[in-house]
């Protein structure tokens, strides 16, 4: 197991105490009922865990992604992989902190840290996916503000958020003839903003939405940083997104392997624990090795990001490794349980689609391989 620093060990223990009061059964019941995990979220906020990575002057704990990754991993290790924990306050909080005005930071970051306000991330579109270069949602100048038109797709938690951080293309071309991107904070109750839920097989509290912007009027205070600098700004949230998605995957892996090892020690067939058979123990041991390597990669990526170094390669590698390792660990845990692995009572199979989602989002494994091939191996670009 990865050796935590004393500080991280205490943080993991504190989060674990909250997580134990809820557990996977609570998480799954709320998800199946279409509910939310507001009580858990409020307790995490009150304990200072949602803002552990944000500056103290804005209500945070003054730590970094290394600390926040511990929080999300530990929750997932108790069977509660919170997708919203990656989005708000991580992606949107990071962008607001690094590029928002001081007024915007004061307005949003303390509430995010306390768990009283949420902000979803609206980048992906039906015809562009997460390719920010192909975004078609447009911000047209209107006096001192803008009017937004367009559609966003697969926006997590739009129904439980106070605002959306929207990536939009400028309506007027810049000096180069291109239409640059800008970022806006748009209240979810803004006139002309409409959401439509997307039906998925995910057993998670966070719902997915298509968001329609029908001539949505926003004022100058909605702009993050400078107009036309959105492409650079959005990357402030992408590396944290990858690193924290890896943390979720690692937590799912730990949850699955813990349940498998316990079952393999206790379940007896022909007067011997099934874990005494190499056909059971070796696949679990191999899965454990893969998980620990993924956790090391994730810790390294967070360390690079927190120290201000280029974390792009490490973040992509961590996300890739953790997603693959979690699917292998979860699959082997289900196999170890036999038919019980598919029983709702054992709380394993319902996590399959979450683990599978993290192999595709927030960046697909194919795009990670493209990145590594081009930037790490210096091979010709394939896209």
- Any idea how long the chain is? 383
Question: Per-residue pLDDT tens for 295-335?
Answer: 999 999 999 999 999 999 999 999 999 999 999 999 999 99
Judge contact between 294 and 325, C-beta under 8 A.
yes
Mean pLDDT value of segment 167-195: 88
Judge contact between 274 and 260, C-beta under 8 A.
no
Lowest mean pLDDT among 83-97, 119-133, 351-365: 119-133
Q: Is the pLDDT of residue 256 over 70?
A: yes
Question: Per-residue pLDDT tens for 193-239?
Answer: 999 999 999 999 999 999 999 999 999 999 999 999 998 888 888 99
d(CA 141, CA 130): 24
195 φ, ψ (degrees, to nearest 5): -120, 150
Judge contact between 193 and 152, C-beta under 8 A.
no
Confidence of residue 177 (pLDDT cuts 50, 70, 90): low
Instruction: Give the per-residue pLDDT at 172.
Output: 72
Judge contact between 290 and 325, C-beta under 8 A.
yes
Which tokens belong to 313?
């390669």
Closest by alpha carbon to 242, among 184, 312, 292? 312
DSSP H or E segment with residue 165: strand 163-170
Judge contact between 170 and 226, C-beta under 8 A.
no
Which residues neighbour 110 within 8 Å (Cβ) at sequence distance 6 or greater? Answer: 51, 58, 59
Instruction: Give the per-residue pLDDT at 358.
Output: 97
Which tokens belong to 76?
């997932």
Count Cα atoms within 13 angstroms, Cβ side, for 49: 27
Residue for token digits 């099934």?
274
d(CA 105, CA 111): 10
Confidence of residue 355 (pLDDT cuts 50, 70, 90): very high
Q: Is the pLDDT of residue 134 over 90?
A: no
Could you tell me which residues are beta bridge partners of residue 214?
A: 149
Could you tell me which residues are beta bridge partners of residue 208?
A: 156, 198
Mean pLDDT value of segment 160-185: 87
Q: Is the pLDDT of residue 374 over 70?
A: yes
Instruction: Report the predicted TM-score, pTM, of the whole model to 2 decimal places.
Output: 0.96
């Amino acid at each position: 197991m990865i050796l935590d620093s004393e500080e991280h060990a205490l943080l993991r223990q504190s989060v674990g105490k909250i997580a134990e009061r809820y557990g996977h059964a609570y998480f799954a019941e709320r998800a199946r009922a279409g509910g939310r995990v507001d009580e858990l979220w409020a307790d995490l906020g009150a304990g200072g865990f949602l803002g552990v990575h944000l500056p103290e002057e804005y209500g945070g704990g003054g730590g970094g992604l290394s600390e926040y990754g511990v929080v999300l991993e530990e929750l997932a290790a108790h069977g509660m992989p919170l997708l919203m924990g990656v989005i708000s306050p991580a992606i949107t909080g990071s962008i607001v902190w690094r590029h928002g005005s001081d007024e915007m930071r004061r307005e949003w970051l303390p509430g995010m840290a306390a768990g009283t306000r949420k902000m979803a991330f609206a980048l992906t579109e039906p015809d562009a996916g997460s390719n920010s270069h192909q975004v078609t949602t447009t911000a047209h100048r209107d006096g001192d503000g803008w009017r937004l038109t367009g559609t966003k797709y697969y926006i997590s938690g739009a129904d439980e958020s106070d605002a959306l951080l929207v990536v939009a293309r400028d309506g007027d071309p810049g000096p180069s003839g291109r239409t640059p991107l800008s970022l806006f904070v748009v209240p979810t109750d803004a006139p002309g903003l409409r959401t439509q839920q997307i039906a998925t097989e995910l057993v998670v509290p966070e719902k997915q939405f298509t968001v329609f912007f029908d001539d949505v009027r926003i004022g100058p205070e909605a702009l993050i940083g400078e107009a036309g600098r959105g492409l650079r700004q959005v990357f402030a949230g992408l590396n944290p997104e990858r690193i924290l998605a890896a943390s979720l995957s690692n937590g799912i892996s730990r949850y699955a392997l813990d349940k498998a090892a316990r079952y393999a020690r206790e379940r007896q067939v022909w007067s011997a624990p099934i874990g005494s058979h190499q056909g059971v123990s070796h696949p679990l041991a191999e899965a454990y090795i893969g998980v620990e390597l993924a956790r090391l990669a994730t810790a390294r990526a967070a360390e690079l990001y927190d120290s201000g170094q280029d974390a792009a390669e490490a973040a992509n590698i961590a996300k890739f490794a953790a997603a693959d390792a979690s699917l292998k660990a979860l699959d082997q845990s289900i196999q170890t349980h036999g038919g019980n692995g598919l029983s709702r009572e054992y709380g394993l199979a319902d996590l399959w689609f979450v683990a599978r989602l993290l192999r595709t989002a927030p960046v697909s494994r194919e795009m990670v391989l493209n990145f590594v091939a081009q930037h790490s191996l210096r091979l010709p670009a394939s896209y």
